[in-house]
Structures are given as C-alpha cells and as structure tokens.
Amino acid sequence: MWGRHELKFGAEGRMNRVAFLQPGTPAGLFTFNDYSTSEYPYWGGGDGMASFLTGTSPESWGQYEVPGSTIMQNFQYAGYAQDNWKVTDKLTLNVGMRYELELPRTERHNRMEWFDPNLASPLQVPELPNIKGGLVYANPSERYPLNTYTKAFSPRFGVAYHLTPHMVLRGGYGIFYNPPSSSPASPILDEGYKRIQQGDHLA
C-alpha cells in the first residue's frame, strides 16, 4: 500500500512433464523363429532374438516387442504487476500488465519429427524444380517443433465509478492467451509446425 495505490506483483514458473509407455508394437512387429539357432529344428532349443541377431530371414513366430517410451516436457514462465489506484473517493482505476513465455515441448532423447513446409525437398523432378516440404528430425541444436512466441504481453485495465450511493459503474479490458498446442500432453502436432501461438483478445 502506498498512498492511494495498492500495488501487486507476482510470478510463476512451471515445468510440465509427461512420461508414458506405449504398449503393443507402435514401431511395427518383427517376428523371428528359433529354427536357425536350434540344435534340433522344430522341437528344441534356439531363440527368436538370437535368430534375429544372426541376420536370418524373419519367419512366423518368436516375436520380440519393444514398447515405445517417451518423456515430453516444456517450461512456462509468467509475471505480472498491477496497480489499484483510488484516484478519488468515487473513481478507482485498475492498471496492470502480465507477461507469459511458453517454451515449446521437447523429448528427452530428441525422438520427435515434424513437417516443415519451407524445407527444400530432396525430390528432384525436372517439371517441378522448386519442390518444398519435408520432415525435420529433432537434434541437439534444433529440438523444438514450434517457434517460441515472445510477445505475449497482456495488458489489463479496469475502472469503477461510484455514481450514486446505490450504483457503481464498472468496465474493463484485457488480452488473454490460450494454452498453446505445444503442451507436452499433446499427443500429435498441429499442421502449422513453425507457426506462432495467437492469443484471444477479450474485452
């Protein structure tokens, strides 16, 4: 409290993490029998994985399943300042600003890919010399499927006027931002991979 001003400040930081195991055969099913590593084919010894390691052709049984394990995370930061200013005994103004920074999600071992419509295509077609579009695979120097939006400033403004002893007029304006699609809980990426996150303007 400072004179006719009531000042408020705050900040927050969050780490969102989702770790999950994909059972079944998300990367396909490879089956190898134990015939090529069995001392007596069809009825004793051998192992499907050993047959696979020897490079023999896959057969119909002895499957080995490797479930997909993924760990996604992203970080959120925000801060705000607000002044509730009692200009007169009848007029009060609420003036504030909030800033949010949301970093796109990453996968612990960079096991992600996304489509970049501006990437030069490796396909070479004489009739179509400038084909664009292709997959980008995450790597230590490019881990994000989205650009980081750094302009999420959210002004707040409110006014209250004590018109009569039994009537108060109020109004307000603010800009708010929706949670972005880069959240780690999102199972798939939207089609605009290199786009920025747009905010919803609410008055």
pLDDT tens for each residue of the chain, 203 residues long: 999 999 999 999 999 888 877 666 665 666 777 777 777 766 667 777 787 787 765 555 445 556 667 888 889 999 999 999 999 999 999 999 999 998 888 888 888 888 888 888 877 778 877 888 888 888 888 888 878 889 999 999 999 999 998 999 999 999 998 766 555 654 433 333 333 333 333 32
- Contact at 8 Å (CB) between 30 and 41? no
In the three-class reduction of DSSP (H, G, I as helix; E, B as strand; rest coil), residue 119 is classed as strand
CA distances from 118 to 6, 76, 127, 128, 191 (A): 50, 28, 19, 15, 13
Across the chain, the runs of DSSP E, i.e. the strands, are 5-22, 30-31, 63-64, 68-86, 91-102, 106-107, 113-120, 132-137, 153-164, 167-176, 200-202
Within the chain, where are the H helices? 48-53
pLDDT of residue 61: 44
Closest CA to 95 of 199, 5, 202: 5
pLDDT of residue 56: 67
Q: Find the angle CA(124)-CA(126)-CA(130) to the nearest 5 degrees.
A: 60
Residue boundaries of the structural domains of the chain: 5-17+73-202
pLDDT of residue 135: 86
Type of residue at 153: F
- Contact at 8 Å (CB) between 104 and 138? no
Q: How many Å apart are CA 48 and CA 44, to the nearest integer?
A: 12
Q: What is the largest CA-CA distance in the chain?
A: 100
Strands 106-107, 91-102: parallel, antiparallel or unpaired by DSSP?
unpaired
pLDDT of residue 10: 97
pLDDT of residue 124: 76
Rounded to two decimals, what is the model's pTM?
0.62
